[in-house]
Amino acid sequence: MTGSLGTRLLLAAMLIGLPCAVFGQDLDKRIAAELSSLAALYKELHTNPELSYFEKNTSAREAEELRKAGYEVTYPIGRYPDDKYTCYGVVAVLKNGKGPTVLVRGDMDALPIKENTGLPWASKVRMTDITGEEVGVMHACGHDMHTTVLIGTGRLLAALKDKWKGTLILVGQTAEERGGGARALLADGLYERWPVPDFAIAEHVDPSLEAGKVGYCPGWAMANVDMIDITIRGVGSHGARPNQGKDPIVISAEVINALQTIVSRTIDPVEPAVVTVGSIHGGTKHNIIPDEVKLQLTVRSYAEDVRQTILSSIERITTYTAKAAGVPEGRLPIIDGGVEFTPALYNDPALTERTVKALEPVLGKENLVQIKPTTGGEDFSEYGRTSHKVPVFMMRLGTSPVGSDPESRPGLHSALFKPEHEAVIATGLKALTTAALNLLGK
């Protein structure tokens, strides 16, 4: 390379890189100015988690914050089937001239987990869930972080209005953990009452990555999720005279073991699939054979034929195991596969690539990590599955201490999940704001 060509290339690189660097510094300053109020908001949300379908205070808080930031807020919105629950969805819109429409989504619900982090802002909340059971409640999936970052991004994009054109739609979504929130918003006219977005983006925390890192996975990224309730019915009797009944506890044990053969014996070994029995409840006392046992399963898959094979195998195994035990026709198992379903998440490859390219100069190439698909599920997928075929992309936001042992990091849905909150808020804001700006018109 000659000196003059080298100089020209360097100059060209500086000219290309300079606006990004300047923008990055400006963004850093703005984020620094917001950080303490957002960290306080995050702690407030973390201390006061609410279960799916009960996000009354969280959503009201979010609506209030976005209104303050200058958005036109519609709240509450969303419709669950049979109007069984109130939907507390939040839609906040900022119109800023002619240009693309970009939807940014953050979910807000917490989980039935008793927190065990010992943090000063740990949750001590207990709530009655949809089954009527009282449970400890914790933000163990980081939806408090998603809400915080969505509000922060809303503030920044309102302040940076001269840097973009178009329509920004911020969506505070409820009931992600029960796979119902996105559908409820779409059922209430999200794509009819507001412009259909040209793109939809979101973030989800990820303890497998260090704080400061952002993960991406083009194409299929998260699995189909089916939640299934099974009631194994038998015939109750005295524990001392099992011959007079049909023991549903023994049948359940056989069913659970037989279910393990679905993935290992009937699914193509190169296809991802999971069958987990996550709960089993039956009986009241040592010496009573109960007349039913309840099981709760989760099934994960990517391909629709794999999903269908698993669902039909569960039905076949459960029914015929009960028949083999001599359960009468009228007492065969009840299998409810329609409890919850979340379709697999497909990150639009072109949108993923475009966003990652925009993030590189702002976050640094070394902080962007291509990750593998997971068997986790996310109903953010729903925003891309209507007839409008909106391209969607969900980034993963690292939460673990830098240099920590990957084996010792508490995962999502763990009572010990504890993100490095300030660093995560800062990176989340930077990534989401940059991604939205890159998609909105100039």
Write down the least CB distance from residue 378 to Zn ion, Å.
Answer: 7
State which residue, 159 or 274, has the beta carbon closest to Zn ion: 274
Query: How many other β-carbons are positioned within 10 Å of the β-carbon of residue 131?
Result: 7
Q: Which residue is nearest to Zn ion (CB)?
A: 141
Task: Report yes or no: 214 and 399 within 8 Å, Cβ to Cβ.
Answer: no
State which residue, 101 or 208, has the beta carbon closest to Zn ion: 208
Write down the least CB distance from residue 146 to Zn ion, Å.
Answer: 8
State which residue, 97 or 411, has the beta carbon closest to Zn ion: 411
Task: Report yes or no: 230 and 295 within 8 Å, Cβ to Cβ.
Answer: yes
Write down the least CB distance from residue 109 to Zn ion, Å.
Answer: 9
Q: Applying CB under 5 A, does 182 fall inside the site for Zn ion?
A: no
State which residue, 41 or 141, has the beta carbon closest to Zn ion: 141
State which residue, 164 or 417, has the beta carbon closest to Zn ion: 417
Write down the least CB distance from residue 413 to Zn ion, Å.
Answer: 6
Write down the least CB distance from residue 377 to Zn ion, Å.
Answer: 8
DSSP-derived pairing of the beta strands 126-128 and 134-136: antiparallel
State which residue, 141 or 335, has the beta carbon closest to Zn ion: 141
Write down the least CB distance from residue 382 to Zn ion, Å.
Answer: 14
State which residue, 106 or 248, has the beta carbon closest to Zn ion: 106
Task: Report yes or no: 347 and 392 within 8 Å, Cβ to Cβ.
Answer: yes
Positions in 101-160 near Zn ion (CB under 5 A)? 141
Write down the least CB distance from residue 307 to Zn ion, Å.
Answer: 20
State which residue, 69 or 205, has the beta carbon closest to Zn ion: 205
Positions in 23-52 near Zn ion (CB under 5 A)? none
Query: How many other β-carbons are positioned within 10 Å of the β-carbon of residue 240?
Result: 9
State which residue, 92 or 141, has the beta carbon closest to Zn ion: 141
State which residue, 142 or 290, has the beta carbon closest to Zn ion: 142
User: How many residues at the interface with Zn ion, by CB under 5 A?
Assistant: 1
Write down the least CB distance from residue 134 to Zn ion, Å.
Answer: 21
Write down the least CB distance from residue 113 to Zn ion, Å.
Answer: 10
Task: Report yes or no: 155 and 435 within 8 Å, Cβ to Cβ.
Answer: no
Write down the least CB distance from residue 357 to Zn ion, Å.
Answer: 26
Q: List contacts with Zn ion (CB under 5 A).
A: 141
